[in-house]
Amino acid sequence: MKKILLLLSISIIITSCGKAFLDAKPIANIVIPQSAEDFEAILDGATGKMNWNSTHAFGIIGGDEYYVTDATWNAPNQFGPSASERHAYKWDINNLYEPITQNADWNLAYHRILNANIVLEGVKKYRDTNPKWRVIEGRALFFRAINYYQLAQLFCKGFDEATADTDRGLPLKLISDLTERPKISTLKETYKQIEDDIQGAIDRLPETEAILTRPTKLACYALLARLTLNQRRFDESLSYSNKILSVKSELFDFNKLNMASNPFSSFSDITKPHPEVIFELYTRTTAIISYGYFNADTLLYKLYLDNDLRKEVYFMDYIGTTMFRGGYGGNGAFFTGFATDEIYLIKAEILARQKKTVESLNLLNKLRALRFKKDTYIPLISTDPDEVLQWVLLERRLQLYVRGVRWEDLKRLGSEFGNGIHIQRKINNEVISTNIDNNFAWPIPLNVMELGGYK
């Protein structure tokens, strides 16, 4: 099995080494995977690659959930943020890849897509009567879909039906041949491929799994709920949310947490995951958003009320700053997977948009009541759907802190409610600002543009 994983590691290294991959030769003494168990091991054994380092770092760096102190900013690159991270922090897209022409968010996603394509080709070539093949195929389709979805959120404009036929999408790599150079698709083609893969995965996956790093039908519905929300296909997003909540609707009472160094640490054991988690995924923590440098946005932190337990659960004082304590995985990493709290908020948002204020508030209050100190929560009351919608959107910021969805919200809501959502940085007394909306996209890495012959 180690030899199988070695083969994947070699292929991954090759894809990140520029033109060298064109000269790749097979290594004769490496065992080629053939059985269902072999290909299952590629997805399970590569958990560190498939479920970690999700493509969210640039979205968090460019977002409004944190800030960097002058001391961190002024530190030499070997002790502080990299040049690319500094450019991203200032939204300096023209110099983003100077001096480095590559991007880890991009490379790691395409590494996972490569793994998925290897498995899908293996299923097609070696499938026999073993029922595992169908599930393995579903897992690979899901992983390919979620990685293209994450790439699209960073490197493409937000989805707009009116322009999706002409907006730039992604190079859709659907085979493992390292020499193949797909054209850059339109955004509509990219989203169609994502949705086709998810729908194919749904038909093949079980409803739930004991191992939460394995995708399921519920994980597919959660990804579809996000995708259709961002496309403003609200009825469909509501339907997918309902499919999830009809099977899994647990919400955890934060009053039961032990306020240790990481209150969620009791859920780090794989046999006892956080009860709200549907699918486990974690993003990479680059220097600029690592624990030594991370500071919660001051204005956002003030939005948490005094009795809101999340002020203590999510944050801690650290040498005069407010540091994030860690996510739902209990391992200190930034959780970017799917959980029922997000599904409640997606459903509440859509119900508010449909002017079903009572139903929306019931969901919102149910969630919030379990986030406040016992017997202190005062339910929100309103008959104004616009007010309820704003409450739900605020709750997304408070509850889904550093979960990878804020960047998506900045883009979609920035276009919906005005000329973008204004973000401001202060660096050495210099104020830098921008407005984020659907038109913002990080540029495709320079090395990809060069190797693919893209313009």
* Per-residue model confidence as pLDDT tens digits over 20-50: 333 334 444 456 889 999 999 889 875 568 9
* 350 contact partners, CB below 8 Å, separation of at least 6: 229, 234, 235, 237, 238, 241
Is 263 inside a domain boundary? no
Is 200 inside a domain boundary? yes
258 by Cβ neighbours in 10 Å (0-12 / 13-18 / 19+) ranks as exposed
Is 105 inside a domain boundary? yes
Is 140 inside a domain boundary? yes
Whole-angstrom distance, CA of residue 357 vs CA of residue 388: 7
Poorest-confidence range of 72-76, 103-107, 235-239? 72-76
Averaged over 322-333, what is the pLDDT?
Answer: 84
Is 272 inside a domain boundary? no
Averaged over 67-79, what is the pLDDT?
Answer: 86
Domain containing residue 219: CATH number: 1.25.40.390
| Cis peptide, bond prior to residue 99, ω within 30 of zero | yes
Give the whole-number percent of the chain exceeding pLDDT 90: 77
Q: Give the CA radius of gyration of the chain.
A: 22
The pLDDT of residue 46: 56
The pLDDT of residue 31: 63
Written as one string, the DSSP assignment of 361-393 is HHHHHHHHHTTB-TT-------S-HHHHHHHHH
Range of the domain at 437: 2-256+337-452
The pLDDT of residue 420: 95
Q: By the 8 A CB rule, do 435 and 414 touch?
A: yes
Is 72 inside a domain boundary? yes
Whole-angstrom distance, CA of residue 402 vs CA of residue 66: 9
**Phi and psi of 221, rounded to 5°?**
-60, -35
* Residue 78 pLDDT > 80: no
* Residue 14 pLDDT > 80: no
The pLDDT of residue 48: 65
Q: By the 8 A CB rule, do 382 and 323 touch?
A: no
Helix 357-369 vs helix 340-353: crossing angle, to nearest 10: 150
The pLDDT of residue 47: 54
* Residue 61 pLDDT > 70: yes
Is 270 inside a domain boundary? no
pLDDT of 123-138, one tens digit each? 999 999 999 999 999 9
CA-closest candidate to residue 187, choices 438, 434, 414, 418 = 438
Domains in the chain, number: 1
pLDDT of 183-203, one tens digit each? 999 999 999 999 999 999 999
pTM across the whole model: 0.93
Report the run of H or E that residue 188 belongs to, with start and end: helix 187-202
